[in-house]
Amino acid sequence: MSKGNMRRHDRTVVRTLVQLMWRDPNGNEKYTNAHTIDVSESGMRIEIPEQIPERSYVVMRADQIGVSGTASVRSCVRKGTKYVAGLEFSAGMKFKPKAPKADRVVA
């Protein structure tokens, strides 16, 4: 790990669909589809159509990369007409890439 990179795990570029569910501040269930930007062993960065409050918990499912469970929203910032959210996996959930290749695209 270099001085400029304080991350615990390297990111792998992965583009795939993720289904999300969370509760808004009023307790209502919200659902959306997101696309991954990159994934690491302990979390992922996704592009979503609406903002999810930081520190919210989401239930997520990304079948094509074998990831499902809960995650905490660590950041969520507007990028153009979309939002980019950083999720940290909960309860020991981990992502293990199937191929050692740095850039991987999953349709």
d(CA 98, CA 39): 12
pLDDT at 47 over 80: yes
Task: Note the pLDDT of residue 11.
Answer: 83
Q: Look at 2 and 98; give whichever has higher pLDDT.
A: 98
d(CA 52, CA 56): 7
For 76-94, the pLDDT digits (tens) are: 999 999 999 999 998 766 6
Q: Which two tokens stand for residue 39?
A: 């994934």
Helix (H, G, I), strand (E, B) or coil at 65: helix
Percent of the chain with pLDDT strictly greater than 90:
62
Domains, in order of start, for the chain: 12-89 (2.40.10.220)
43-48/17-23 β-pairing: unpaired
